Structure 1
């Protein structure tokens, strides 16, 4: 495994300064003065700034920082293929009211960002946290995201270190939008980063509990690359081709041979991409199969922390469940995750709150 360095996060003392990288797209042509006036009136009528996000983990991270000072609304439904998700006309109407759009970037949500650029008010910023977390030389290309396709693997948030970078950038962007809330966002960020640090420490313990020969991953969808690079786990490959279709019979045969050669004890599917081929491969290779998740939070609930009443339906809850599943199937100790608090730090299930 090659070591890598996470780009240093900006200090909260620099809130409001321009980032060294920018994901904001060029502004579209100005709207008519009457349309701009109408949009401005609609937005000013809101008690709180409206912040639009995309996938559920990102929505949950941002809403933990925003708390009750901003209305955070995720567009991509949970359990949906975010790579191909086509936003609805109602999403465009919502974006027209947005004060800020926070996306993952790295070409994950292309149709959604195209709509956002077309529908957003001229002054509304589109900010891509993933694009601003790592430099291009740290991008990972793999089976689902081959270099020839030009799109890097965008699933940075599965790595808690990068999730912390997302939280920090969210605090910076929210403070720039709402300077009066700077202390509130900083307090929420501090509490949330402590949770993510605990998640990182337990993750290392879980991986260490897995026998070295079993620290290998074969997944259906390639979403664990940045996590594996951080924690010293070898990615064997992915079942799903880059076009998101089922693998060919020839591909299946190669995967079965690869599983037998590497003696991986289990393969891991995805609830977003249910596949009978995965079950066939597991049967023929005589290995276990189970599902992990990269963007579907566990149980029922809302990705918005201020609306959620399920303490497990959170980004941290998703990662805790993933660690439990990985440990159980790879010979590690699932009980190590029992010490982690999965609830949000704000909202109905909050166990740590900052003063407004």
Structure 2
């Protein structure tokens, strides 16, 4: 990250902290109970159909992975034009933007990324093509400090890049939404009240989702609250919800595990009596399926961290829809139930 961009992020973090003091989601849940969820937005569009014209009278906002696009859409609604650069189902860690993406980035007023070294090629392309007055904002870099970075199986500390998957932790996703509100309101003060209402609608849903996931995880027998995944994307989720990530099959270079590592994982699953292992929608792996079969564990092959369910335009093709789908897969496979998540809708909540 460039020094100038790092300074911008630091300034934004301070302002955001003043405007949005940290409030535990658990203490907010009771307040949220009496707040009606608005009628769902008519579409879960993450921006692929937006015009992104330079003279459209709206903020042009470029984003990267689908969860960030979904969060930004729920705050900005239809008063921004949005373009997600990283296509659904793409490995965001190795994604290289196309030359055509330079044109999109050159029209953006804001480029909102995750940061934490997830999208460096896209950030470099954006920096080379930013128009005057446009800026880049790394939400993850503004949400946690370096002291809170997590290094683990696929993101070893010696490589220097932390695990970037903050958004599977719902309080961090809410922080992303709060920061997005700050950015949009500062850039477009005429619509600040609209963005604030959208944030409140979305906060209500995220608070309920966080409480529901917490309760659902508690129904899993304690000895089963272990995660072994293919793609190493649940570190911040596990830390928040009281689970332990015992391993990830995918090496740091995103290749398949070696025979020695396969044998070690099989032994670990047997030793810890892990009931299920979880593959990735984006990283299909015959190797992990074989590991599960050899170790006598259930194989669940379509856990998601950045690919919402369904197709663009489907009502549940959202960040919230993705997390609900993950809980439908994860919790029963580990011996728990998901009744606590009943009634939480996956739909977008922004006002027209």
TM-score by length of 2: 0.85
Assess, with a 3 A threshold, how the Cα gap between structure 1 residues 43 and 341 changes in structure 2: closer, same or farther.
closer
How far did 1:294 drift? 0.3
SS at 2:62's partner residue?
strand
Aligned with 2:341 (options 325, 337, 340)? 337
1:65 aligns with 2:84: no
Displacement of 1:216 in angstroms is 0.3
2-structure distance, mates of 1:49, 1:165: 21
- Cα distance in 1, alignment partners of residues 137 and 319 from structure 2: 20
1:9 is displaced (CA, Å) by: 5.8
Instruction: Classify the secondary structure of the residue corresponding to 1:168.
Output: helix
Alignment of 1:297 with 2:308, yes or no, is yes
Moved over 6 A (4+): none
Kindly provide the CA deviation profile for residues 19-39 of structure 1, in whole angstroms up to 9, marking residues without a partner as x: xxxxxxxxxxxxxxxxxxxxx
Aligned residues: 308
Partner of 1:25: none
Written as runs of structure 1 = structure 2, the 5 A alignment for 1:298-313 is 298-301=309-312, 308=313, 310-313=314-317
Q: Which residue pairs with 2:17 in the alignment?
A: 10
Matches for 1:27-46 after TM superposition, within 5 Å: 44-46=54-56
Residues 254-294 of structure 1: CA deviation (Å, up to 9, x unaligned): 00011111111000010111111011101110100112100
RMSD (Å), alpha carbons = 1.7
1:194 aligns with 2:204: yes
C-alpha distance in structure 1 between counterparts of 2:54 and 2:276, whole Å? 53
Local SS of the residue matching 1:84: coil
Distance 2:169 2:267 in 1: 29
Unmatched segments (≥5 aa) in structure 2 = 1-13, 22-51
Question: Which residue of the other structure, out of 269, 283, 290, is the alignment partner of 1:280?
Answer: 290
CA distance in 2, matches of 1:44, 1:98: 8
Q: Check if 1:324 corresponds to 2:328.
A: yes
1:16-69: CA deviation from partner (whole Å, max 9, x where unpaired): xxxxxxxxxxxxxxxxxxxxxxxxxx9652221100000000000001100111
| Structure possessing the higher relative contact order (Cα contacts under 8 Å, 6 or more residues apart) | 2
Cα contact 1:324–1:337 (8 A) shared by 2: no
The residue matched to 1:91 in structure 2 has which SS?
Answer: helix
| Residue ranges of structure 1 left out of the alignment (5+ in a row) | 1-6, 15-41, 302-307, 347-352
TM (norm. structure 1) is 0.84
